[in-house]
A and B are shown apart, each in its own frame.
Chain A
Amino acid sequence: MIHTIRVAAKADTDPVGRDVLAEIRRTLGLAAIGRVRSARVFRLEGADEAAARRLAEALLCEPVDHDWTIDAPILTDAAHVVEVAYLPGVMNPEAASILKAAADLGVDLVAVDASREYAFYATAADALHPTDIDRVVHRLLVNPTIERVVDTPPATLLIEGQPGPTRRIALRGMDDDALLRLSNDGLYLDLDEMHAIRDYFDELRRDPTDLELEILAQTWSEHCVHKTFKRPVVIDGVRKTPFMQRLKETSRRYDDLVVSAFVDNSGVLRFYDGWAVCGKVETHNSPSAIEPYGGAMTGSGGVFRDVLGTGQGARVIASTDMFCFAPPDLPPSDVPPGALPPDYLLRRVVAGVRDYGNRMGIPTNNGSVHFHKDFRAKPTVIVGAYGLLPEDRAVKGHPRPGDRIVVLGGRTGRDGIHGATFSSTAMTADTITVNSQAVQIGNAVEEKRLLDALLVCRDDGLLRALTDCGAGGFSSAIGEMGEQLGAEVELDRAPLKYTGLAPWEIYLSESQERMVAAVAPEDVPRVLAICATYNVEAVDVGAFLPTGRLVVRYAGEVVGELAMGFMHDGLPDKTLTGTWAATDVDGDAAAPSTPSELPTPPTSNDDWIDLARRVMAHPNVASKEPIVRQYDHTVQAMGVLPPFGGREGDAPGDAAVLAPFPDKPYGLVIAHGLNPVLNTFDPYWGGIWAAAEAMANLVAVGGNPREVGLIDNFIWPVPDGPALGGLDRAVDACVDVMHALGRPFISGKDSLSSTYRYPDGTVLEIPPVLCISVFGRIPDVAKTSSSDFKHAGSTLVLVGARDVEASRGYGLGGSVYLDVHGLRGVDAPHVDLAVLPRVLDAVHAAIAGGRVLSCHDVSEGGLLACLAEMGFGGDRGAEIDLAAIDVASGVGSGTAADRRMRPDVALFNETAGVFVCEIVDPDDVAAFTGVPHAVIGRTIDAGELRLRDGVRELARIDIAMLQDAWASAMRLVFH
């Protein structure tokens, strides 16, 4: 018996209903709906009516601002009421809390579910059509991968089923066609790999079980083994070292400060006083395209577990997020069939990142959003996390023979399993069909208590080894930990969300919020006791044994047995071939190659103002404050440079600075750079730009360029053909960056399949994305800088080399300036790697020496955006002579006359690694002796940008007006 409690906010306190109405107006333009109200619906199974009433009064309803009913509708005056619930099998995180509170109130429920009702009221003038309600429900309220409209109330909330048997696959007799058919049915291995598996079982004289095939497919998957990065490549006929080998070998040359690189779940650097810091950056693109909220949550949850699972456990102290979407104003007709509108995707991804990070209490300190129309089918969603751990616990131990395998955290369900289906005969008669590929809703609190418990275990020295369950689930975690030894697993001991999972499903499930630890047998009781204190489920499921084999049992029966050697070394060798020709990947915009094909610079003050406003309102430049304010960036009380600062807290910072120890001045600086548009010209120069931008962001706030580690994220459309050639160039860029900076990459990730196939077969590729993150240490956070102008009358210096080479279109390719004119340019700006490190050192020394009042790096939107943003934070303006730039800091070829910089080039060139510094004393310009620099003007006590070109006044632009243009673009997306 189910009793249903409905709870509605009293009419004037229902922000949910108000938000839905706003979305209806904005996204659907529907005028017929005049009001929306919402109600919570709680279904309580196993309680009698008196108990259900007690729960309503003591737990579910608050009479101060709520009304409630039992087993009766609540919003009875509405024209239409629609209830939206999670699909059966999608675990509702709220259910466990309600069960706990009910138990505290003395009511033992069998099951519970919580959902929401929406009530629609017609405007006075119009009638409500069912088709209008359908549009609202299906466009805005229901995501069919996880949710449904409740038409018929469920008779039971319990999901039950019988586990399917373990099957044997008659692999040995299969010909190539049969092998490929089998592979395409969910294994996704190529023919060579299928042959290797068939040969292995031929030798064993038996056929594999479904579990064994799934384990091999998982272990050998691109996602887990990163085949593309590990294999030799041939580009344009030339054989080259595998990408990963190139990165690792170069990295090793610059390993001072490195505690571990490319071996653990994250990269680890030495910090101070026996502490280490670690960083990891992950992508979560495909799930986010289908279910942006849940996808972003699992992305955040996964990268936090990566950091938690570093060494013997790290405390997660910071996170970052970098997104690429199609422009929010993409016309609906351009949204590909089956894809979601970009503004909706953006809002939902932000909500997912917000709800996971905020609930875990992990500050989101740094991030960016980039827009390009070719992300309209598949966005790029990148999330980073950084952690703090004692250096003596920063390196993983190896499991020893006899160590127990302990799984901790959330229960295992059918989450993330491909193509799994419930056997309908095995289900109870009342159970509604369970979604076979349930996307899960992240449960941040589950992960938070897991983190709390594991850090106690770490401090007590109870964890020999630790890793997270991400892609590949137990299979990946246990397979990796047991690689050198062997493991025996009793699969029926794993706690399940619901019955009915076949052994292979349990072993391969990608349910979130789970970790696996190797624990000495005598320590297991203590680990279990600590976990119990924190309400974390922990179960001993087997042992690491020196057999060289993986043995998996279910209910006493062996369901899988594989040699560790074959699992980890049996993957056949293969060489990848690609081509590189610097072709125009995205050739639908005109490409100016001579000055005459550049836009005409404005001639009147009004035209300058109009141009400046368009640049500031461009989505790649515009303020992301409406996003950032939704993220808790002050929790943990370590931040000493907020994402938005200045006098009114509305001016953007370049990077995050944390002071992790309350009694020490030590600082951790975190920054990143990416610009996908530039990779459409050449991923080499796009990659160099990204690295220079990351370093410039870090240095602009006071980071030390000599004490950092870098992290790469390659998100590529496909790993073959010209794209593979481009990837090869991007890897070369990373290698060259390491040599130039003398600093290593210490962690990375590749995700090499971001394409979309239209119904007519046309393939849409994303622009290649190389996101470069950087983090490092500084001894004293007092010696840092912020971007807001501090005083009037200070000297402004432009520091750094800009690419203004005429044959490359003056380095304007891919710039916001060209984009607002519908142009693209001919090439990415080339950052001079010979000059960059000296510039970084000089700016760092000037800031650390206390000579810099404010500093901001020049990036999207160029010098104009840089100066405007410095003005926003300081409520001041600047007087700038563009002629000064021409003389000192153009690094083009040719004669002085050729290098005469047009004012638009001076203002809008986006070469990375260039700074504006506000200095106290004009003599302090000497700090930049030996690197390209120019004194370009001074700050003024008026809210204006006054631009001159020598004696000629170009424009006077009101800064408040620019700020309005800059701030309003994202407000339109986020109300």
Chain B
Amino acid sequence: MSRTASPRICILKADGTNCEVETATAFDLVGARPEIVPMNRLRSGERRLADYDVLVAPGGFSYGDDVAAGKVMAVELMQRLADDMAEFAAAAKPIIGICNGFQVLVRTGLLPFNQPGIMSATLAQNAVGRFECRWVDLVVEAATVSQLAAALPSHLQLPLAHAEGRFFADDAVLARIEAAHQVVLRYADRDGRPTAAYPANPNGALGAIAGLSDPSGRIFGLMPHPERFVRRFHHPDWRRRPADERPHGLAFFERIVALA
């Protein structure tokens, strides 16, 4: 699908969502039209999901991460906006979850298998048992099904910040994810090798999975924050890096816009 007008991005905002502003900024930088949409505006019908081209669940602590990270927001989406969500997914429009948004998508069942209401994987508490904020090396899975990954550098660096990011599922689910090439990003060491070792894999994610998509590649969730690396100066070691380096997070947003 191609369009002349720049795509409209719905950035969901629940109580405790806290990365919506910089996520909107990132979309602004790549020429999209982001709008931060409080959940109540969707619930009341004041805004309609159908009017947007991309749906983004950004980072934060939706509803305090009470019960489990993203759980209360996932319940709200699937109970109060179930039809709109189904329609949106059926239209093959991209649905993106970043950090808390990834947790939300997993808890709705949209990830990993686009099965609303059926949760087959989880993002559990970090194996180290506490919140971690650090930059990580990531590698893009060569055979990934997701078109969203096509424009990313094969080895990139992004920051992450979470307490519950450990991708966890049983062996059968993991095998199914791998077989369908749904993994998009893995935590890696400095040489680009996926790793289970802390701190390069900061949460103990199984398969070093940092980001994955549904089998269609259109629904995508990741724990790292691409919106936090859209300027050269965001990199913690920017002084040692080439001044003309394209910030790694920008490619991610450009690609979403290109696909929308």
Q: Does B40 contact A358, Cβ atoms closer than 8 Å?
A: no
Q: Does A646 contact B79, Cβ atoms closer than 8 Å?
A: no
Within 8 A of B (CB), among A546-562: none
Q: Does A927 contact B (CB under 8 A)?
A: no
Contact of A637 among B75, B76, B169, B230 (CB under 8 A): B230
CA distance A354 to B21 in the complex (A): 21
- Chain A residues near B16 (CB, 8 Å)? 359, 444-445, 448-449
For A648-673 the 0/1 string (1 means CB < 8 A from B) is 01000000000100100000000000
Would you give the shortest CB distance from A100 to chain B, in whole angstroms? 6
CA distance A13 to B71 in the complex (A): 18
Q: Does A645 contact B (CB under 8 A)?
A: yes
Contact of B71 among A101, A445, A532, A629 (CB under 8 A): A101
Segment at the interface with B among A59-67, A288-296, A331-339, A709-717 = A59-67
- Chain A residues near B239 (CB, 8 Å)? 786, 790
CA distance A642 to B16 in the complex (A): 24
Contact of A634 among B21, B75, B76, B159 (CB under 8 A): B159
Q: Does A122 contact B (CB under 8 A)?
A: no
For A545-579 the 0/1 string (1 means CB < 8 A from B) is 00000000000000000000000000000000000
Within 8 A of A (CB), among B115-142: 119-122, 124-135
Contact of B168 among A13, A106, A632 (CB under 8 A): A13
Q: Does A101 contact B67, Cβ atoms closer than 8 Å?
A: yes
Question: A534 and B76 in contact (CB under 8 A), knowing A62-B122, A634-B225, A642-B236?
Answer: no
Q: Does A387 contact B (CB under 8 A)?
A: no
- Chain A residues near B22 (CB, 8 Å)? 635-637, 662
Q: Does B3 contact A (CB under 8 A)?
A: no
The number of residues on chain A lying at the interface, defined by a beta carbon within 8 Å of a beta carbon of chain B, is 63
Q: Tell me the total A-B contact number using a CB cutoff of 8 A.
A: 170
Q: Does A64 contact B131, Cβ atoms closer than 8 Å?
A: no
Within 8 A of A (CB), among B203-258: 225, 227-228, 230-231, 233-234, 236-240
- Chain A residues near B18 (CB, 8 Å)? 359-361, 448, 635
Q: Does A647 contact B (CB under 8 A)?
A: yes
- Chain A residues near B121 (CB, 8 Å)? 64
- Chain B residues near A534 (CB, 8 Å)? 15, 38, 40
Q: Does A302 contact B (CB under 8 A)?
A: no
Q: Does A533 contact B131, Cβ atoms closer than 8 Å?
A: no
CA distance A59 to B67 in the complex (A): 8
Q: Does A637 contact B228, Cβ atoms closer than 8 Å?
A: yes
CA distance A62 to B103 in the complex (A): 13
- Chain A residues near B133 (CB, 8 Å)? 628-634
Q: Which of the listed residues A13, A98, A443, A635 has the most CB atoms from chain B within 10 Å of its own CB?
A: A635
Q: Does A961 contact B (CB under 8 A)?
A: no
Q: Which of the listed residues B13, B68, B128 has the most CB atoms from chain A within 10 Å of its own CB?
A: B68
- Chain B residues near A13 (CB, 8 Å)? 124-125, 168
- Chain A residues near B60 (CB, 8 Å)? 361
Question: A104 and B76 in contact (CB under 8 A), knowing A443-B64, A533-B41?
Answer: yes
Question: A60 and B134 in contact (CB under 8 A), knowing A445-B15, A637-B234, A659-B231?
Answer: no
Question: A445 and B63 in contact (CB under 8 A), knowing A64-B122, A64-B168, A634-B133?
Answer: yes
Q: Does B29 contact A (CB under 8 A)?
A: yes
CA distance A13 to B68 in the complex (A): 14
Contact of A630 among B79, B132, B233 (CB under 8 A): B132
Q: Does A16 contact B (CB under 8 A)?
A: yes
CA distance A632 to B160 in the complex (A): 9
CA distance A232 to B13 in the complex (A): 52
Would you give the shortest CB distance from A541 to chain B, in whole angstroms? 23
Within 8 A of B (CB), among A58-77: 58-60, 62-65
Q: Does B193 contact A (CB under 8 A)?
A: no
CA distance A646 to B240 in the complex (A): 9
Q: Does A639 contact B67, Cβ atoms closer than 8 Å?
A: no
Q: Known pairs A635-B19, A645-B237; list 14 more (Cβ under 8 Å).
A: A18-B129, A62-B119, A64-B119, A93-B66, A97-B63, A104-B79, A628-B133, A632-B133, A632-B161, A636-B22, A637-B25, A637-B230, A637-B234, A639-B234
In the assembled complex, 26 residue pairs joining A and B whose CB atoms fall closer than 8 Å, in A order, are A15-B126, A15-B129, A64-B122, A94-B66, A97-B66, A97-B72, A98-B66, A104-B80, A359-B16, A361-B19, A444-B16, A444-B64, A532-B40, A630-B130, A630-B131, A634-B133, A634-B159, A636-B22, A637-B234, A644-B236, A647-B240, A649-B237, A662-B29, A662-B231, A790-B239, A790-B240
